[in-house]
Structure 1
Amino acid sequence: MIQKLYKIGIFLILLSGSIGVKAQEGTVLPKQYADSVFQGIQATSPGLEHNRIITRATMYGAGFTNVFDTYLSPQEYRGIDFRISRESMRMTKWMKGNVSLQTFFQADLGYTHNKVDNNNTFSGLANWNYGLHYNFPITSNFKLLAGGVGDFNGGFVYNLRNGNNPASARAFINLAASGMAIWNLRIKNSLLTLRYQINLPLMGVMFSPNYGQSYYEIFTLGHWDGVIKFTSLYNQPSMRQMLTADFPVGRARMRFGYIWDAQQSNVNNIKTHTYSHVFMVGFVKELYLFPNRKYSK
């Protein structure tokens, strides 16, 4: 068991390195130019364009997960969940500079067992969000955000004892409503940033085999009828919630986070759910992006 968990941890470290590719050139923003990027505190230097200030955070975490898929088994499987995430946030010039852009990637790997502990499953899901939020400043240090998110997901559940149908694929795309609350606090000379975010899928499409249909029938024999389904709150009532706290540690800035990820569906007479409670920790970087030149002090 310990060796299996060790291998899972090594897998996630390697995976995190593969996704940490920079999208744009940037320079770490010195503290005298910005106290907290984007999340409610304005840059103190008038020479910096606010929409070029970007916050990037990478987090690692572990928690508990509950996996259920009637295509594979009528039983629930419970166990441990390893997760990594990478997030970028910045303001844009749209709607007089009141719209922010968020990209969020996360990948998790779960190892679970059934109630009688005579069977195990592996599960994994990669999730990427592209979201736009309109910012509503309430006070000088508190604001609300509302908008929409494009939600792209792909993964699997693998049952270690099944013979004919050992695995189930997960693939779905959603348009989700999204909201945030961001609160900046000063404790002595330190800045603490609290954030709560909720994403609620409203509509989308999902790949799902028909009950009792094998993947051989779909991909080899070409029996695709009914495997792509429209989804809504009716047959895919799901939700993702995230709570984070950013605070300085020396010259660095750390982030603690908690993710409650509840994904469930009832499509083609197959019921699934994955409920995860994950605690995350990582670091936050604040950068100023220059279009074609390097930053000099």
Structure 2
Amino acid sequence: MKEIAALLVFLIALNGTVSAQCDSLQANRYVTRSTTYGLGYTNILDTYLTPQEYTGMEGRVARETIRMTKLFDGNISVQNFFQANLSYTHNNAEDNNTFAGLVNWNYGLHYQFRINEHLKLLAGGLSDINGGFVYNLRNSNNPASAKVYANFAASGMAIYRFKIKNYQMVARYQANVPLIGALFSPNYGQSYYEIFTLGNSDGVVKFTTLKNQPSIRQMFTFDFPVRYSKIRLSYLWDIQQSKVNQLKTHTYSHIFMVGFVKDLYLMHNKNGNPLPAKIRAY
């Protein structure tokens, strides 16, 4: 009898351990993905092309993936965020226009502090990689300016979950501030022909900090269900600035976006390949 009792205790303990391990593994397979599209207002300045500010409309698309990891007892989440925008702007005199575009990719880790069942605060860091252009339609000598820069940014979020009747709502605020990085910029009065053809490239890559690149990206999102779908409304306040090589640039964007959110659970087939299966819980 003692042997049977000991065996039962061992099996119960083993079952609890296996269940806890399975829960930990399953938590890593939950993925939240969203795709949103938006329009808004932008203000662009690039003194390499002109001392005038240009204002107009901007279109933007964003795709985000967030999931938990096994790091630090499962308290670390990973965020993969990609966005691209294209704008058409004009100066105050209404006699010139510019096209501008930028692609931005963030990949970062956040530690989650669970304050209570409704509120979570997240803190961490992420890579911030950017590439784009500004094209002035009337400039003949230097009509375009390239935008290439990368940073390490501090990032924080606040996520609040609540219900209205039986409907689950999620509100979030996120802010990313670049701390250190590198930026490509011609010197004042220098052409791209001099840089890339003649090889006069001294000083065109600059180390950046908050002093010469004071920027911030802020995002507000609100998720709510509509029948079997989940809708996301978001507002992006994107401020990108720099002052290097006697040149000033800025892009101030206010964008309202709408799209869909999907909650996925990654399963594995016999060959070990991930298979996404939609779940309704968020």
Q: TM-score range by the shorter chain?
A: 0.7 to 0.9
Query: What is the DSSP-based 3-state SS (H/G/I as helix, E as strand, rest coil) of the residue aligned with 1:49?
Result: helix
Residue 47 to residue 78, structure 1, CA distance change in 2 (3 Å): closer
Deviation digits for residues 40-67 of structure 1, max 9, x if unmatched? xxxxx95971111000000000000000
- Which amino acid letter does the alignment assign opposite residue 249 of structure 1? V
Q: In structure 2, what is the equivalent of residue 253 of structure 1?
A: 230
Q: In structure 1, what is the equivalent of residue 128 of structure 2?
A: 151
Task: Note if 1:205 corresponds to 2:176.
Answer: no
Q: In structure 2, what is the equivalent of residue 228 of structure 1?
A: 205
**How far apart, in 1, do the equivalents of 2:230 and 2:106 lie?**
24
Cα pair 2:162 2:169 within 8 Å, conserved: yes
Unaligned runs of 5+ in 2: 1-21
Q: In structure 2, what is the equivalent of residue 274 of structure 1?
A: 251
Residue 112 to residue 295, structure 1, CA distance change in 2 (3 Å): closer
Counterpart among 120, 143, 161 of residue 166 in structure 1: 143
Q: In structure 1, what is the equivalent of residue 192 of structure 2?
A: 215
Which one has a bigger Cα radius of gyration?
2
Cα pair 2:24 2:74 within 8 Å, conserved: no
| TM-score of the two chains, using structure 2 as the length reference | 0.87
Deviation digits for residues 68-115 of structure 1, max 9, x if unmatched? 000000100000000000000000000100000000000000100000
Residue 74 to residue 47, structure 1, CA distance change in 2 (3 Å): closer
Counterpart among 20, 43, 54 of residue 77 in structure 1: 54
Higher strand share: 2
**How far apart, in 2, do the equivalents of 1:47 and 1:92 lie?**
9
- Which amino acid letter does the alignment assign opposite residue 253 of structure 1? K
Residue 261 to residue 136, structure 1, CA distance change in 2 (3 Å): same
Cα pair 2:104 2:131 within 8 Å, conserved: yes
Counterpart among 263, 284, 293 of residue 261 in structure 2: 284
Q: In structure 2, what is the equivalent of residue 187 of structure 1?
A: 164
- Which amino acid letter does the alignment assign opposite residue 223 of structure 2? D
Query: What is the DSSP-based 3-state SS (H/G/I as helix, E as strand, rest coil) of the residue aligned with 2:61?
Result: strand
**How far apart, in 1, do the equivalents of 2:267 and 2:167 lie?**
28
Task: Note if 1:49 corresponds to 2:15.
Answer: no
Query: What is the DSSP-based 3-state SS (H/G/I as helix, E as strand, rest coil) of the residue aligned with 2:211?
Result: coil
Q: In structure 1, what is the equivalent of residue 8 of structure 2?
A: none
**How far apart, in 1, do the equivalents of 2:46 and 2:82 lie?**
24
Residue 99 to residue 211, structure 1, CA distance change in 2 (3 Å): same
Deviation digits for residues 219-249 of structure 1, max 9, x if unmatched? 1111110000000000000000000000001
| TM-score of the two chains, using structure 1 as the length reference | 0.83
Q: How many residues align?
A: 253
Counterpart among 135, 142, 155 of residue 112 in structure 2: 135
**How far apart, in 1, do the equivalents of 2:103 and 2:120 lie?**
30
Q: In structure 1, what is the equivalent of residue 70 of structure 2?
A: 93
Residue 181 to residue 199, structure 1, CA distance change in 2 (3 Å): same
Identity %: 62
**How far apart, in 2, do the equivalents of 1:295 and 1:239 lie?**
34
Report the RMSD for the aligned CA atoms in angstroms: 1.6
- Which amino acid letter does the alignment assign opposite residue 190 of structure 2? Q
Cα pair 2:264 2:276 within 8 Å, conserved: no
The offset of 1:290, in angstroms, is 2.1
Higher relative contact order (CA 8 A, sep 6+): 1
Q: In structure 2, what is the equivalent of residue 68 of structure 1?
A: 45
- Which amino acid letter does the alignment assign opposite residue 236 of structure 1? Q
